Amino acid sequence: MPEVSAVPRSPDLSAAVADALSSDGPLASALPEFEPRPAQLEMAGAVARTLAGGGVLLAEAGTGTGKTLAYLVPAILSRQRVLISTGTKNLQEQIYFKDLPVLRQALDVPFTATCMKGRGNYLCLHRFDTFRESGALRSRELSGGSHAVDERQVHDGEEDDLPWRAAQRDGNEID
């Protein structure tokens, strides 16, 4: 397995996440039904530490923990590009159409989001390796930079090359 490089450190990220998820934080103001949950705060802290210090986090939490906010809040406050893959289309739509607009307003942090639907937008190691071995990767490599995404842009899976936009491997971003 390739080594995961550290992302830039942000020492205030954990504090900002804890504040956002507190009983008197911006989420409590924006969501009348919001109540702090210790397991949610613990998971959000682990996500924040991983985003700030780099590495890999594998988190598992039970129903009612508030997992979605536990990973979305640190991701948004870190201002880093993240990829969130859901197990169901219902959760994907909940995050995109319900959670992200509320978080945009409550956290007052500008960010963009893209919802990519369809089997053609699924990236796994097998598909990535097949794509890389086909030689198509060499013609698509960039010398650096990033790909800008329009806010609330939704793809329907018709464009098979979309999953490669956010992929990164061997130090080369793929567009």
Q: What pLDDT digit, counting tens, does each position of 93-105 carry?
A: 999 999 999 999 9
> Coil, strand or helix: which one is 151?
coil
Question: Which residues pair with residue 169 across a beta bridge?
Answer: 172
Per-residue pLDDT, averaged over 116-140, amounts to: 72
Residue 168's φ and ψ, nearest 5 degrees, are -140, 135
pLDDT at 155 over 70: no
- With 0-12 / 13-18 / 19 or more C-beta atoms within 10 angstroms meaning exposed / middle / buried, residue 175 is middle
pLDDT at 170 over 80: no
The DSSP call for residue 53 is H
Residue the block writes with tokens 């020492």: 11
Total-model pTM: 0.64
